[in-house]
Amino acid sequence: MAQLDLPEALPTTLAPPPDVVVPTPVAVRRGRSARLVGWAALAGFGVIFAMVRTHRSDAIDLAVTLKVQREGRQPVLRALMQAVSWPGFPPQSHFIPAGIAAGLLAARLPLEALFAVGAWGTSLVASGIKAIMRRPRPIGTVDLRVVTAPLGGSSFPSGHTITYVGVYGYLVYLAHTLLRPAGWRRAIVAALVGLIALVGPSRVHQGHHWFTDVTASYLLGIAYLIGLTGLYRRVKAARAGMRP
């Protein structure tokens, strides 16, 4: 009786498609990042936190908001700012990150899916700091425009901004480190980086946050993202039996 060759008869169901994802050593090598940047970003967040806490940023916040709103009166720009902010409002702000994790799991990338949930943790970080700071949101006046939106709680930090840095910044990292086709990789990275870069100005433009709210969120989000991807890289390298 012929003996069945099991390794060839049973395909590996947990490995990602080889024509889409690069080998683990390549992914780990691409993902090396400087810890110094993360610590510098965290220190910058601390400085802004102290300024806001002592009301030393009020004048610059108002000046920047008025300038951004004055320069962004064109209908096309207003529509762009609304479109950029839309993914950060509920219920889509809940469905999109969950869908990203589910999509990675369906793509046979369970470790990446797990860390996608961790990237979503930036929203919890924002909620915790909001509870401590309790900074009032901008109030609409003759000069200051505030777009109606389902908002509440503290203005500091910007939940939109820090969550975008965590969730979409993590996707930037995955695209840069994992994707094999260079064309697709560059297009995806450019689109996601553009979304992250615009969300902060959009929050100021719509009058939902002050300049220091979004700046602090960018810095804290970057520090969080660097820490998360560093941990991801170590776990991935350990699974492959190599140094991170």
Cis peptide before 91 (omega within 30 of 0): yes
Q: Where does the pLDDT of residue 150 fall: very low under 50, low under 70, confident under 90, or very high at 90 and above?
A: low
| Per-residue pLDDT at 154 | 85
> Residues of the chain with pLDDT > 70: what percent?
82
Quick check: 6 pLDDT over 80?
no
Residue ranges of domains in the chain, CATH in brackets = 21-240 (1.20.144)
User: At CA 111, angle to CA 107 and CA 116, rounded to 5?
Assistant: 85
d(CA 213, CA 52): 9
**Stronger pLDDT, 60 or 13, i.e. the higher one:** 60
pLDDT digits (tens, 9 = 90+) for 21-47: 656 655 555 555 567 888 999 999 999
Q: How many CA atoms lie within 13 A of 28 on its CB side?
A: 17
Spatial CB neighbours of 222, under 8 Å, sequence gap ≥ 6: 37, 38, 41, 165, 169
**What is the structure's pLDDT at 233?**
86
> Of 94-108, 156-170, 209-223, 227-241, which range is least confident?
227-241
Count of positions (residues) in the chain: 244
210 or 31: whose pLDDT is higher? 210
- Return the pLDDT at 244: 58
HSE-CB at 235 with a 13 A cutoff on CA atoms is 11
H helices of 107-158, where?
110-120, 122-133
From CA 216, how far away is CA 42, in angstroms rounded? 9
Q: How confident is the model at residue 72 (pLDDT cuts 50, 70, 90)?
A: confident
Residue 13 has pLDDT above 80, yes or no: no
